[in-house]
């Protein structure tokens, strides 16, 4: 059963000397990407920990870059001071323009970075540890048939008063897991399909489109599954990830964007037909005493094309 054969714990790979030797024998190059937008509070710690453990002490990472959406705080200054390559997303592939969103940063990283494997790690992790990288790249080093390794963990939420031991992963359990169970039952074996930490082979990333917004992780999983099947996936238990809490209102917008992307994939995969265009207006209600208001927000899950369709990419990475 996939759940038993393709699910790991990060401690399976904590012998970093052995892992680096296996990486060297494989000939693979590994790039680490941290997408950012105003992350001055946590980015320095992440860079120090990853660089000291996985570049200076053990040569697991060959390239380490921060791809930024246009921070107005000290994210760039701190990133460069601590030794990471810092790139403003708008300066990468300028012929393609700039769109604000995490998915944009992830897409631009496929062009900017050179590794055979790209590992993405979010910038807001309070309890950052090298396992957030080596636990994800190791299955791809050891098993050539694995193309995409996803993180999962307990997700206590950080508040000003301290830490709540549970509460993370709400959109997964309320929206994504039910949708997977209905339409892609095998994918329900993924503990946290929306986690922001995962490692993927370049040969996969360059073939798939990138939603620039909330739907990027879900769409990637559906596209990889459609092309390669469940055997292409692995997942690694990283124990715990402490992160900032998001409001219920923010999660509603996230769920709306994910649902747009999901419905689009159902149609492109031949699982459903949309007879009318779906709305891109998210409608929320707000009550203030006896005053009631509908708040409308446009959320459009625009997508970047597969990198293989970009001429500059083909020139940089010739077939």
3-state secondary structure 21-48: HHHHHHCCCEEEEEEECCCCCCHHHHHH
What average pLDDT score do residues 255-263 get? 94
Residue 299 DSSP label: -
CATH topology of domain 2-247+304-316: Spore Coat Polysaccharide Biosynthesis Protein SpsA; Chain A (3.90.550)
> Which pLDDT does position 155 carry in this prediction?
78
What's the pLDDT at 163? 47
pLDDT tops 90 at residue 159: no
Choose among 62, 52, 39: nearest CA to 243. 39
Average pLDDT over residues 273-285: 85
Structure tokens at 264: 């689009």
Provide the pairing of β-strand 210-211 with 117-120: unpaired
Q: Quick one: three-class SS letters along 290-310?
A: CEEEEEEEECCCCEECCHHHC
- Model pLDDT, residue 157: 60
Span 6-52, pLDDT tens digits: 999 999 999 999 999 999 999 999 999 999 999 999 999 999 999 99
Please give the average per-residue pLDDT across 97-102, as a whole number. Answer: 92
Residue ranges covered by each domain of the chain: 2-247+304-316
Q: How far apart are CA 158 and CA 242, in angstroms?
A: 6
Residue whose pair of structure tokens reads 């601590």 in the numeric block: 82
pLDDT of residue 64: 97
Give residue-wise pLDDT tens across range 186-208.
Answer: 999 999 999 999 999 999 999 99
167 has pLDDT over 80: no
Give the total residue count for the chain.
319
Tell me the percentage of the chain whose pLDDT exceeds 70: 95
Can you tell me the distance from the alpha carbon of 203 to that of 235, in angstroms, rounded to the nearest whole number?
A: 19
Residues paired with residue 67 on neighbouring β-strands, in sequence order? 35, 87
Query: Could you tell me where the DSSP H helices lie in the chain?
Result: 2-5, 16-26, 43-51, 75-81, 102-112, 131-142, 170-171, 177-183, 202-205, 216-228, 248-268, 311-316
pLDDT band at 247 (very low <50, low <70, confident <90, very high): confident
Listed range (82-91, 154-163, 232-241) with the worst mean pLDDT = 154-163
The alpha carbon of 229 is separated from its chain's Cα centroid by a whole number of angstroms, namely 19
The CA-atom distances, in angstroms, between 210 and each of 143, 186, 225, 261 are 25, 22, 15, 10
Task: Say if residue 215's pLDDT is above 90.
Answer: yes
> What is the chain's mean pLDDT, rounded?
93
SS3 content of the chain, % helix, strand, coil (to 5): 45, 20, 35
Instruction: Give the pLDDT of residue 164.
Output: 47
Band of residue 288 on the pLDDT scale cut at 50, 70, 90: confident
Residue 72 has pLDDT above 60, yes or no: yes
Share of the chain above pLDDT 90, in %: 83
Confidence bin at 260 (pLDDT 50/70/90): very high
Q: How far apart are CA 304 and CA 215, in angstroms?
A: 12
Q: State the pairing for strand pair 233-240/243-244.
A: unpaired
Instruction: Over range 162-183, report the average pLDDT.
Output: 80
97: left (phi over 0), alpha (psi -120 to 50) or beta: left
3 state DSSP class of 71: coil
Which of 109, 119, 117, 110 lies closest to 89 in space, CA to CA?
Answer: 109
d(CA 196, CA 119): 10
Q: Which pTM does this prediction carry?
A: 0.93
pLDDT tens-digit series, residues 112-121? 999 999 999 9
Q: What was the pLDDT predicted at 276?
A: 78
User: Rounded to the nearest 5 degrees, what angle is found at the Cα of 317, between the Cα atoms of 314 and 318?
Assistant: 65
């Amino acid at each position: 059963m996939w759940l038993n054969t393709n699910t790991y714990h990060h401690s399976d790979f904590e012998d970093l000397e052995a892992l680096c030797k296996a990486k060297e024998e494989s000939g693979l190059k590994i790039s680490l990407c941290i997408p950012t937008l105003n992350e001055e509070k946590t980015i320095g710690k992440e860079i120090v920990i990853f660089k000291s453990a996985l570049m200076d002490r053990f040569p697991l990472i060959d390239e380490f870059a921060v791809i930024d959406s246009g921070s107005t705080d000290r994210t760039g200054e701190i990133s460069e001071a601590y030794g990471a390559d810092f790139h403003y997303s708008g300066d990468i592939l300028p012929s393609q323009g700039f769109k604000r969103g995490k998915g944009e940063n992830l897409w631009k990283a496929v062009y900017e970075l050179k590794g055979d494997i790209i590992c993405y790690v979010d910038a807001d992790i309070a309890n950052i540890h090298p396992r957030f990288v080596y636990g994800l790249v190791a299955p791809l080093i050891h098993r050539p048939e694995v193309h995409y390794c996803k993180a999962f963990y307990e997700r206590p939420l950080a508040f000003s008063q301290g830490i709540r031991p549970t509460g993370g992963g709400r959109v997964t359990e309320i929206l994504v897991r039910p949708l997977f169970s209905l339409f892609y039952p095998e994918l329900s074996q993924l503990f946290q399909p929306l986690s922001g930490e995962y490692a993927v082979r370049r040969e996969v990333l360059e073939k798939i489109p990138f939603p620039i917004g909330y739907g990027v992780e879900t769409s990637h999983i559906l596209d990889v599954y459609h092309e390669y099947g469940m055997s292409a996936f692995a997942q690694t238990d990283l124990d715990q990830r402490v992160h900032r809490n998001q409001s219920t209102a923010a999660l509603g917008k996230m769920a709306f964007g994910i649902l747009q992307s999901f419905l689009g994939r159902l149609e492109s995969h031949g699982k459903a037909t949309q007879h009318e265009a779906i709305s891109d207006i998210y409608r929320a209600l707000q009550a203030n005493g006896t005053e009631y208001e509908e708040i409308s927000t446009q959320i459009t899950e625009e997508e970047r094309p597969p990198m293989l369709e970009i001429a500059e990419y083909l020139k940089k990475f010739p077939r």
